[in-house]
Copies of this chain bind each other. A is one copy, B any other.
Amino acid sequence: MATLGDIGVSALINILTAFAFLLAFAVLRIQPINDRVYFPKWYFNGGRTSPRSRGGNFVTKFVNLNVKTYLTFLNWMPQALKMSETEIINHAGLDSAVFLRIYTLGLKIFVPITVVALLILIPVNVSSGTLFFLRKELVVSDIDKLSISNVRPESIRFFVHIGLEYLFTFYICYMLYKEYDNIATMRLQFLASQRRRAEQFTVAVRNVPHISGRSISDSVDHFFKTNHPDHYLCHQAVYNANKFAKLVRKRDRLQNWLDYNQLKFERHPDKRPTKKTGFLGLWGEKVDSIDFYKQQIKEFDKQMALERQKVLKDSKSILPVTFVSFKSRWGAAVCAQTQQSKNPTLWLTDWAPEPRDVYWRNLSIPFVSLTIRKLIISLSVFALVFFYMIPIAFVQSLANLEGLERVAPFLRPVIELKFIKSFLQGFLPGLALKIFLYILPTILMIMSKIEGHIAMSTLERRASAKYYYFMLVNVFLGSIAAGTAFEQLDSFLHQSPTQIPRTIGVSIPMKATFFITYIMVDGWAGIAGEILRLKPLVIFHLKNMFLVKTERDRERAMDPGSVDYPETLPSLQLYFLLGIVYAVVTPILLPFILVFFAFAYLVYRHQIINVYNQQYESGAAFWPHVHSRIIASLLISQLLLLGLLSTKKAANSTPLLVILPILTLAFHKYCKNRFEPAFRKYPLEEAMAKDILDRTTEPEINLKAFLSDAYLHPIFRSFEEEELVEVRVDKVRVDRHQSQADNAETDDISSPSPPHHVYQPTSPPHDVYHHGSPPQYAYNLSSPPQYGYQYRYDVDP
């Protein structure tokens, strides 16, 4: 067990690591050449232009020679704090602002708790001094002297701990209530302050029934004209363009290779690049690379033209899903919240996600398979959480030295070297586990995609929930109880329900040192690594070297990314859990968590202001999950304290603690009723108020034109104008132009430029892409190593 000294050393190492990261960041960020890596958000906002075009000599374009700027290497911190919350909402959206509020909530909760716990509990625990006597016989860490372990069994002092648990629970609930209230208000204000947006008028309808002798479009029109006669406006059919999108993706990869080779040729005009046609370019016929890729691209273009025709002409490519738009927000709100058909599995309506939030690929999943998919994924997640060690252990048993020697006998002499052997023996077994943990978020995201949600934001929330379960079982419980999660599951099944909190509760104080180290390694150093952005930095410079030809290409090579909710939210929630559980058990852990929250707050504030460019705006839809997981942490802490105290023979205190979970649950239920609807539904009062405002300010708006291609699969933006007209909401082109002309004076929103120039952010209605960022592809996430897949069809040869 670690002594206080050990912790000190560990803290020092981690602080040094963090400082090294910060120093590296401070140096790298002021180099003009890295400007696009550390300040991409400002490029997207149009607030910054390339430093290369700003003049100056050749060297200063790439390297910062101003010595002064190196001295104030922490000055990003006050800068990050300057922006007010309202400005952040305008700058980066509500999601980001609320994400930052989680950190301030952490500070607001844990600063007073830390002060109270340290002032009251440390004296109570230390003066009790049981462990001083035992020291010789048992291995006890110094930390334990400050913890509840130091209190004698049956001591009356436990009432101090119980009292504080009550106090902390009430305080946390109070803070949570205030925060939920605040965020719900912010969300409603944010939604109310938004300008006219396509999703306010639109409802996603799934499982449109096939009626023989009628096309999907006709059924939709007929159904909504009958059942919403006063409100129905139009609908956008959804085409199954997944295959086409796949072709586009492949073609794009080829285009990258072509660019790379052309650039290579330009730089060394004497040597025309060649490649081998076989697998991975390792063997096969040697051909001229530029010709080869040009040829391939030409073939792809043919295939794509065919596929495009198929998508447009084949009635089977119209999916039984549609985006139905209404004349008013009221009409859309009504349709989204009501049951349409007698058969409740048909005509399922729900709010449409914003256009850039739609995950197009899942729209083609037949509705019937969704239940089965969900069942299978639930079982898989359960298996993954509890049994993931089994395949890894299997791989580990294969990936030992003997196996390696059998596969590659020629390595034997090297392997047999003593220090290499010991290194490999220490390294290999862990490798499988490390690879698994590295790709775990991707696996969870794929699982969520299989579940069939149609919005990116939902996908990320679901992946985040799965990751949380994994962390809860394998990091939190797994570290406290001995053995793998699978072994725990087995032992828990054979233990009585009252025994489980005892088993875990007893070992909690002993694991405090482990979690302190965990917080420093994962929290402190991890966050410092976050600000360094090492991976995007490397990728940006690689792209710059091999692909970038024009300033425009360089813009595309920027990968601002967005806050990685599926990973950051669960770890954030884990810190809340640790803080709440240890608050009365080992309060010395709390300052470490405080440091984490404060530091992470600064870092993420800086990142959100300067780097990240959110892909979608969900209006803080993740908040209810954060809230309920903090409540769950409270419940866990209460149960574990109950278990811990029952082993301390403080049985007479049990009834006192049993009331607390019931009160906490009641509080949760109240909050759910009071605030959650604000995140799930859209009140008619709001909808009507905005409708009335619209009607008075812009009475003659042409909504149909405004919605014309908001919910068009982004792939169609590469189509020809004539083809495009067929798939738009307002099919007749002349009509549209006519109406546009009519409204030209009163309404500048409904004048999309011709679709040829769709890359310009003018074609989709301005305020749909809230921050004027170029629309990005939904498959962005599915191919993480590549940079955001962006439009380039307008440069088709």
Contact = CB atoms under 8 A, between A and B. Distances in A.
B685 A340 contact: yes
Contact of A498 (B333, B347, B494, B684): B494
A586 to B, nearest CB: 28
- Closest 4 pairs (CB-CB, A-B): A344-B677, A339-B681, A337-B338, A494-B496
Interface stretch (A274-282, A507-515, A667-675, A751-759): A667-675
A228 B231 CA distance: 13
A340 to B, nearest CB: 5
Given A338-B684, A371-B670, 5 more contacts: A227-B685, A338-B681, A339-B681, A340-B683, A494-B498
A797 interface: no
Contacts of A338: 333-334, 337-338, 681, 683-684
Contact of A340 (B493, B496, B669, B684): B684
Contacts of A380: none
B230 A230 contact: yes
Contacts of A683: 338-342, 344
Copy number in the complex reads 2
Contacts of A375: 662, 666, 669
Contacts of A567: none
Interface string A644-680: 0000000000000000001000100110011111100
Q: Is the interface of A mostly helix, strand, loop or mixed?
A: helix
A773 to B, nearest CB: 30
A682 interface: yes
A360 to B, nearest CB: 25
The winner among A379, A495, A499, A683 for most chain B CB atoms within 10 A is: A683
A686 interface: yes
A362 to B, nearest CB: 18
Nearest to A498: B493
A330 B371 CA distance: 30
A226 interface: yes
A213 interface: no
A678 B341 CA distance: 10
Contacts of A499: 494, 496
Interface of A: 188, 223, 226-228, 230, 330, 333-334, 337-342, 344-345, 347, 371-372, 375, 379, 492-499, 662, 666, 669-670, 673-678, 681-686, 688
B673 A344 contact: yes
A338 B95 CA distance: 26
A339 B342 contact: no
Given A371-B666, A375-B666, A681-B338, A674 B227 contact: no
Nearest to A192: B342
Contacts of A493: 496-498
A188 B496 CA distance: 47
Nearest to A334: B334
26 contacts: A188-B342, A223-B685, A230-B230, A333-B338, A334-B338, A338-B681, A339-B681, A339-B684, A340-B683, A340-B684, A340-B685, A342-B686, A344-B674, A344-B676, A344-B677, A344-B678, A345-B673, A345-B674, A347-B685, A375-B662, A379-B662, A493-B496, A493-B497, A493-B498, A494-B498, A497-B497
A529 B498 CA distance: 46
A740 to B, nearest CB: 30
A400 B230 CA distance: 75
A472 to B, nearest CB: 19
B669 A371 contact: yes
A675 B676 CA distance: 26
A659 to B, nearest CB: 10
A138 B345 CA distance: 57
A682 B498 contact: no
Contacts of A228: 684
A498 B491 CA distance: 10
Contacts of A371: 666, 669-670, 673
Nearest to A185: B342
Contacts of A379: 662
A684 B348 CA distance: 12
A690 B492 CA distance: 57
Contacts of A494: 496, 498-499
A353 B323 CA distance: 35
A144 B527 CA distance: 68
